[in-house]
Structure 1
Amino acid sequence: MAHIWGRTNCNFNGAGRGSCQIGDCGGVLHCTGWGKPPNTLAEYALDQFNNLDFWDISLVDGFNIPMTFTPTNPSGGKCHAIHCTANINGECPGPLRVPGVCSNPCTTFRGQQYCCTQDPFGPTDFSRFFKQRCPNAYSYPQDDPTSTFTCPSGSTNYRVVFCP
């Protein structure tokens, strides 16, 4: 699975060393790993089960900027544009507020109830906050039924737009 995220307030030198306030990936311009949460993620896995591409927008790591994720030639069903453009940073619940962004419950509180790393857990009040504002986005790690989208492999291109 691959990830795309927006980084903000970045400053890099000519050698590509520096940092970003949000979404930093090890102090380098060209990321080779994950960005530091909180960040809005576009996730995708191409040519998977039954020759389908699987893709989503995830708020599991929190929210920093609005995003749309769009197949450029949708073919119906679960192959259609999705977006998360709500004012999440402005409405973020107090315990999740971080300057300029909305953090995630796992990073903030830790524990199985919020991180869902072992046993299956359902949504919490915090994940429901994200889901109400962005119904197509993952709001907690096991939010598959309403948040995973598919398109036929090999015939679909995708566009991710930040701050649409």
Structure 2
Amino acid sequence: MKFALVALAIAAGASARTFTVYNNCPFTIWPGMFTDLNVAQNVPSQPNGWEQAAFQAVSFSVPNNWKAGRIWGRRNCNFATNPGPNSCLDGGCNGGLVCDSRTGTGVPPATVAEFTLQGAGNQDFYDVSLVDGYNLPMSITNNKGCHIANCPVDLGPNCPSQLKGPFDSTGFPVGCKSACVAHLASDPNNDPNCCTGSHNTQGTCPSSGVQFYSYFKSNCPNSYAYAFDEPSGTALWTCNSALNADYTITFCP
């Protein structure tokens, strides 16, 4: 298995971390990245989207205080015509290959790596989110011994029928929507699966009221499986920011 390393603008010094995105899948993916500029203006050195071949790694610098950042994978993309959110079978974004800096958050279902560096208490916060569903196995590791966040299981084939899809040209499911994204509740404005309306607090939106929560959490216990999953103790992870950890996001770990 050939490992190809593409080093892109790795900055030296203590002002930045090195993030590495490794595609361990046996097929090409198109990673997307987004920073909520309403939270902070600090952005990584890498463009917000790129093509990445199987078994290739891409490394880039990320500001020490990167806030509200996310990285995810897109599958089965073709940007030749009508570049935008529908250019990929899942995970597509406004902007086409390079996701729009203001609106390019990605179309569900998609497994998402989420980061806030130098957050409250001088902690890095990170998680693998399945809140909007799943499209690729993923892990977040680091070089300082902090906890692994991951969803290492392919949730597509055994996904409940109400959530399964989209499907590729062979009929294989390349995604598994969350119950929220699948709109299983009758009123999207008062939805226990989405924690909206009268369910918009931790106390009024327990995991027991979220349809198919156990499917995601039992298969991927170290993931963020719904909007208020932190009490599970295995959803949101922290690492002391003083360690200046470098992070690796691996698809198909």
TM-score > 0.5 by shorter chain? yes
Displacement after TM superposition at 1:16 (Å): 9.9
For 2:181, give the aligned amino acid: T
Aligned to 1:158: 247
Displacement after TM superposition at 1:39 (Å): 0.3
Give the aligned length.
159
Is structure 2 residue 214 aligned with structure 1 residue 107?
Answer: no
Distance 1:34 1:72 in 2: 27
**213, 233, 236: which one pairs with 1:148?**
236
- Alpha-carbon contact 1:20-1:27 (below 8 Å) kept: no
Superposition CA RMSD, Å: 1.8
- Alpha-carbon contact 1:55-1:148 (below 8 Å) kept: yes
- Alpha-carbon contact 2:193-2:211 (below 8 Å) kept: no
Aligned to 2:218: 132
For 2:162, give the aligned amino acid: P
The structure carrying a bigger helix percent of its residues is 1
Distance 1:86 1:49 in 2: 31
Please give the residue correspondences for 1:6-85 in structure 2 after superposition, counting only pairs within 5 Å. 6-13=73-80, 17=83, 19-31=87-99, 32=101, 33-74=104-145, 79-85=146-152
Select the structure with the greater relative contact order (CA < 8 A; seq sep ≥ 6): 1
- Alpha-carbon contact 1:16-1:29 (below 8 Å) kept: no
For 2:97, give the aligned amino acid: L
SS in 2 for 1:112: coil
Deviations 1:78-126 (A, max 9, x none): x222221113111101111112210111121244210013233111341
Distance 1:2 1:82 in 2: 15
Distance 1:8 1:27 in 2: 16
SS in 2 for 1:50: helix
**% same residue:** 41
Aligned to 2:158: 91
**Larger of the two Rg values belongs to structure:** 2
**So what's the TM-score if we normalise by structure 2?**
0.59
Deviations 1:8-39 (A, max 9, x none): 001124x9935111100025111132000000
Distance 1:86 1:17 in 2: 30
Distance 1:159 1:49 in 2: 22
SS in 2 for 1:68: strand
